[in-house]
């Protein structure tokens, strides 16, 4: 089976006044289905740029980005949007929930965009997903009534509710304290295991990195190292879950 993400000699340049910033300078990367990969690297190394390309919210200057076999450079905005809708889930650093919608509606939203499910099926899906992230009691609350950790868990539910093949998270723990952050990573790991969804997330927190099964290091827009840890579970997972429970009673 082909890899879910295949990147070949990708270059991404940003114009900056008269200059051109080369954020990625020839990246080759292949990610298989079910992997739990982190992209690590110092600030400005090109993590976000890479994730944007994988997430189809941007296209490379040159090179090939293939998602589930489709090359993104040939696609128009409409098709890219459809691809994102059906194959990719996003978890953002700042959670990015729709503030005027409640928890349920936020999670339901991608399903509505997709269409195709009955109201009942949708409700079951949403409730199931919310239950998995442990927020059933907050089902009708609005984002501003939730803590940061809770919000990111809503975001995870929202990213996963459509059962995407690929979930991208750009520094999902950066806006959370370390204990909550680890709990979020643990939840993602759990989802990765249960739903066999491919996860790619970026971070520069070494503690968070440890939880990944594969760590891709980039420096200055180039892949510096690519290692598989085969690290599957961590004792921190248990303590992290408890800590999160304590942090948000």
Partner 1 sequence: MNSLSYWAVLFVASVRNIFTHKLKSAVVGLLMCFGTGLVVTGTALLDSMEDSMSKSITSSLAGHLQVYSAEAKDELALFGGMMMGREDIGRIANFEDLERVAEQVENVRAIVPMGIDIASITGGNETDRVADTLRTAVAARDQAQIDLLRLQLSLMADALRSEFEAKQAITADKEALAADLQNLDRLQSDAFWLSLSDDPELAIQFIETKIAPMSSDGLIVYLRYVGTDLDEFTKNFERFEIVKGEAVPAGHRGFLFAEKFYEDHVKHKVARDLDRIHRQVHEEEKTIAEDALLRTKVGQMSRQYRRISFQLRPDDAQNLTSELRTMMPEVRAKDGAEPSLEVLLQAFLEVNDQNLDERYAYFYESIAPKIELYKIKVGDVMTIRAYTRSGYLKAVNTKVYGTFNFRGLERSDLAAAANLMDIVTFRDLYGLMSETRREELEQIREEVGAAEIDRQNAEDTLFGGSGQSLVAAPEDTAGFDEFRGQDLAGIREDLAEAYNQRFDAETVARGVALNAAVVLEDPDRLDETKAALQAAFDRSGQPMKVVDWQTASGIVGQFIIVIRLVLYVAIFIIFLVALVIINNTMVMATMERTTEIGTLRAMGAQRSTVMTMFLFETVVLGLLAGVAGALGGALFVTWLGHVGIPAGNQDTLIFLFGGPRMYPAFGLANLAVGLVSILVVSLVSTLYPARLATRIPPVVAMQAKD
Ligand X SMILES: Nc1ncnc2c1ncn2[C@@H]1O[C@H](COP(=O)(O)OP(=O)(O)OP(=O)(O)O)[C@@H](O)[C@H]1O
Span near Mg ion by CB under 5 A; candidates 44-52, 100-108, 112-120, 237-245: 44-52
Q: Which is nearer to Mg ion, 66 or 171 (CB)?
A: 171
Query: What does 110 interact with, of ligand X, partner 1, Mg ion, none (CB < 5 to 8 A by kind)?
Result: partner 1
Q: Which residues pair with 111 in a beta bridge?
A: none
The whole-angstrom separation of Cα 137 and Cα 198 is: 28
Backbone angles phi, psi at 119, to 5 degrees: -60, -40
Q: Which is nearer to partner 1, 134 or 148 (CB)?
A: 148
* Using rule CB under 5 A, residue 173 touches Mg ion: no
| Distance in Å, CB of 217 to ligand X, minimum | 11
- Residue window 1-20: x/- pattern of binding to ligand X, with contact defined by CB under 6 A: -------------x-x----
The whole-angstrom separation of Cα 37 and Cα 29 is: 11
Find all residues with CB under 8 Å of 174, minimum gap 6, and list them: 93, 181, 203, 205
The whole-angstrom separation of Cα 33 and Cα 13 is: 28
| 74: DSSP letter | G
* Using rule CB under 6 A, residue 21 touches ligand X: yes
- Strand segments (E) across 68-165: 70-71, 88-91
Gyration radius (Cα) of the chain, Å: 18
Query: What does 247 interact with, of ligand X, partner 1, Mg ion, none (CB < 5 to 8 A by kind)?
Result: none
Is there a contact between 148 and 176 (Cβ–Cβ < 8 Å)? yes
Query: What does 45 interact with, of partner 1, ligand X, Mg ion, none (CB < 5 to 8 A by kind)?
Result: ligand X
Exposed/middle/buried for residue 140 (C-beta within 10 Å: 0-12, 13-18, 19+): exposed
* Using rule CB under 6 A, residue 49 touches ligand X: yes
Report 176-215 residues binding partner 1 (CB under 8 A).
none
Among 37, 38, 45, 48, binds Mg ion (CB under 5 A): 48
Among 17, 18, 43, 78, binds ligand X (CB under 6 A): 43
Among 37, 45, 48, 180, binds partner 1 (CB under 8 A): 48
Biggest CA–CA distance in the chain, Å, is 55
User: 178-195 and 148-160 helices cross at what angle (nearest 10)?
Assistant: 20
Q: Which is nearer to ligand X, 32 or 205 (CB)?
A: 205
| Distance in Å, CB of 96 to Mg ion, minimum | 15
* Using rule CB under 6 A, residue 172 touches ligand X: no
Contact residues: partner 1, CB under 8 A: 48, 51-52, 55, 57-58, 77-78, 81-82, 84-86, 88, 90, 92-94, 96, 98-101, 105, 108-110, 112-115, 119, 122, 158, 170, 175
């Amino acid at each position: 089976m082909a890899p879910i993400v295949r990147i070949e000699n990708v270059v991404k340049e940003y114009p900056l006044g008269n200059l051109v910033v080369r954020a990625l300078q020839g990246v080759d990367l292949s990610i298989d289905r079910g992997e739990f990969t982190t992209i690590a690297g110092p600030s400005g190394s090109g993590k976000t740029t890479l994730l944007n390309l994988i997430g189809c919210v941007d296209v490379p200057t040159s090179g090939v980005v293939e998602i589930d076999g489709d090359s993104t450079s040939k696609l128009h905005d409409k098709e890219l949007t459809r691809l994102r809708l059906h194959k990719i889930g996003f978890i953002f650093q700042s959670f990015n929930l729709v503030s005027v919608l409640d928890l349920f509606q936020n999670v339901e939203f991608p399903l509505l965009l997709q269409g195709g499910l009955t109201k009942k099926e949708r409700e079951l899906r949403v409730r199931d997903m919310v239950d998995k992230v442990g927020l059933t009691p907050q089902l009708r609350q609005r984002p501003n009534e939730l803590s940061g950790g809770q919000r990111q868990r809503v975001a995870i539910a929202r990213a996963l509710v459509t059962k995407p093949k690929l979930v991208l998270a750009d520094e999902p723990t950066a806006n959370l304290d370390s204990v909550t952050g680890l709990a979020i990573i643990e939840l993602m790991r759990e989802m990765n295991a249960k739903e066999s969804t491919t996860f790619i997330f970026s971070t520069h927190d070494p503690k968070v990195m440890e939880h990944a099964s594969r760590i891709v290091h980039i420096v200055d827009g180039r892949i510096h190292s690519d290692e598989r840890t085969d690290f599957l579970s961590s004792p921190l997972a248990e303590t992290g879950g408890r800590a999160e429970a304590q942090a948000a009673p």
